[in-house]
Structure 1
Amino acid sequence: MWRSCLRLRHAGRRLLNRPRAALTASAGREPNPLTPARAYAPPTERKRFYQNVSITQGEGGFEINLDHRKLKTPQAKLFTVPSEALAIAVATEWDSQQDTIKFYTMHLTTLCNTSLDNPTQRNKDQLIRAAVKFLDTDTLCYRVEEPATLVELQKNEWDPIIEWAEKRYDVEINSSTNIMGPSIPARTREVLVSHLASYNMWALQGIEFVVTQLKSLVLTLALMDLRLTVEQAVLLSRLEEEYQIQKWGNIEWAHDYELQELRARTAAGTLFVHLCSESTTVKHKLLQQ
């Protein structure tokens, strides 16, 4: 019984956290400005049509060149990024594609497209409020009442991160075993809103992307602050699933694929945030083949 209830509650929490498609308006509905949007991308695959990838510096920032063509966003805007390091990372994504361009593996490119086109037309305040809203359904704040082994596991693994966040930001973050979720003090929200306001728009897109992957603002903050590695943050976000898998078994290939994909998306989002916050540039001016 406890296993069924645990899965039902976990599924419900994921539904609450699930981001809506970034192009909702194209289906005839207005997007909710507080709803986290998926970073969006072109069709999943396409035959590679270029030989060389390079970067150049233009008036608006750093541009990506595919042979002699300048990369464009899905809305046909010039693909220009604010940091040379980010441009090199994106160019590397394009250069590493083989005969077929697999867009679903190009998370940095996708995040840049989202930042440039801003399909949901949200401003900085709306991005911040959407990220902080995740506290209401934060994975680390939802606890089970049984079995005792999982209760103890959550306490041992999650409590230190909660305690770190409370001390780091001088706030109170409560947990709950109630399906209605924890009570988050208004001051906690205000402090975290103020902290996130220190990031620029591009970095906030990356932060929200990571939050939607981990289903946790607390884990995302710990990751951005280098309190956790990507591998640690991902495993902590999947604590209940990993517990059940160890106890009941799993479909090996499906579990491994899902885990690796989550790590890849989380790592890309984290790198994106740091590269968008980087104030210095690297020495290389061009990325050759």
Structure 2
Amino acid sequence: MWRSLVRLQCQARVALSARYGRARLPVLWHAADLSIATSERKKFYQDVNISQREDGLFEINLDRRKLKTPGGKLFTVPNEALAVAVATEWDVQKDTLKFYTMNLTTLCNTALDNPTQRDKEQIIAAALKFLETDTICYRVEEPPGLVELQTNEWDPVLNWVEKRYNVIIGSSSSIMGPQITEETKDTFRQHLGSYNFWALTGLEFVITQLKSLVLSFALVDRHLTVEQAVLLSRLEEEYQIQRWGNVEWAHDYDMYELRARTAAGTLFVHLSSESSSVKRKLLQD
């Protein structure tokens, strides 16, 4: 699972960088900073390594310098698995640091600096709001081809999530959307509460990318792959593209970027939930 997500994130980022250069790629130094223009910096280190502190946390060292967050905090992560993944992002940089390729570092910065100053309950509340406007719960009434496509592609995932969590969600073609019961919200609230703060940071990032709590749960639970989840989140757009055509470079950019972010967020959820130490070979091919 980890290897495939790392590979997908890297492939998407390489494709983006090679095809479009840096002009359109955003810096994600905190996960909320999606509007910041891209920047690069000349590489200032040779070696990257990790070290464990007495309190069990792991640090990232660039030569002999300790990595810090944009907020000035010492960059520390809770386990070896995540430390290795972040160190790999820094290790693969060439002559310049392409910050837009470092989504795991970005998410760590967000968890450490907490720029929006939210607690766990506030993050859960924000995630639950997506259930009220979930992408796959809103259905069209026409054209018939899209109606059929939504039914065939979205219903199986929706049914799986309802069965998996023993909830009722439903779908609607009304602008008001389906009526989500308090029991369903409570069930999801308890499930989200089982994640630690770091994992919630990653999960909220995935939900934001897909505009869907349902698809995000199915992805994190390994019922869907990243490619499947992204395609399902863009189902209507893909239908219109097949029907009317598209601006090729824009479509490709959006798809690659969404896959890269979704893969990184999903990987971050799993790595942040890892309690035991792992060896570097777990993240190698």
Q: TM-score, normalised by structure 2?
A: 0.85
Residue in structure 1 matched with residue 32 of structure 2 by the alignment = 38
Q: Does 1:195 align with 2:204?
A: no
Residue equivalent to 2:180: 184
Measure how far apart 1:22 and its partner are.
Answer: 10
Q: Residue 56 of structure 1 aligns with which residue?
A: 51
Deviation by residue 1:30-72 (Cα, 9 ceiling, x = unmatched):
xxxxxxx726799632111111111111134111011110000
In structure 1, distance between residues paired with 2:249 and 2:150 = 26
Q: Would you say the 8 A contact 2:45–2:63 is kept in 1? A: yes
> 2:213 matched to 1:217?
yes
Q: 1: distance between equivalents of 2:138 and 2:244?
A: 22
1:247 aligns to what SS in structure 2? Answer: helix
Supply the AA of the counterpart residue of 1:275: L
Aligned positions of 1:77-226 closer than 5 A: 77-226=73-222
TM superposition shift of 1:144: 0.4
Number of equivalent positions: 253
Q: CA RMSD in A?
A: 2.1
Which amino acid is the alignment partner of residue 202 of structure 2?
G
Partner residue of 2:225?
A: 229
| Residue in structure 2 matched with residue 74 of structure 1 by the alignment | 70
1:98 and 1:238 mapped to 2: Cα distance?
33
Q: Distance in 2 between matches of 1:187 and 1:227?
A: 23
Helix, strand or coil for the counterpart of 1:157?
Answer: helix
Q: Secondary structure at the match of 1:182?
A: coil
Q: Distance in 1 between matches of 2:29 and 2:50?
A: 28
Task: Give the distance between the partners of 1:42 and 1:69, measured in 2 at CA.
Answer: 27
Higher relative contact order (CA 8 A, sep 6+): 2
Distance 2:233 2:184 in 1: 21
Partner residue, 1:240: 236
Deviation at 1:283, TM superposition (A): 3.1
Deviation track 1:214-242 (CA, whole Å, cap 9, x = no partner) reads 00000000001110000000000000011
Checking the alignment, whether the CA contact within 8 Å between 1:22 and 1:119 is kept in structure 2 is no
In structure 1, the residue corresponding to 2:141 is in which secondary structure? Answer: coil
Looking at structure 2, the residues matched to 129 and 85 of structure 1 have their Cα atoms a distance apart, in angstroms, of: 28
Partners of 1:85 and 1:235 lie apart in 2 by 29
- Paired residue secondary structure (2:41): strand
Please give the alpha-carbon distance, in whole angstroms, between the structure 1 residues aligned to 2:233 and 2:258: 10
- For the residues of structure 1 that align with 2:38 and 2:175, how far apart are their CA atoms? 38
Q: Deviations over 1:177-212 (max 9, x none)?
A: 112222111111000000111100000000000000
| Counterpart residue identity of residue 43, structure 2 | R
CA 1:43 to 1:157, structure 2 compared with 1: closer, same or farther past 3 Å? closer
How far apart are the structure 1 equivalents of 2:242 and 2:279?
A: 47
Q: Give TM-score scaled by structure 1 length.
A: 0.83
Conserved? CA contact 1:132–1:189, under 8 Å = yes
CA distance in structure 2 between the aligned counterparts of 1:147 and 1:275, rounded to whole angstroms: 42
Counterpart CA distance in 2 for 1:87 and 1:196 is: 24
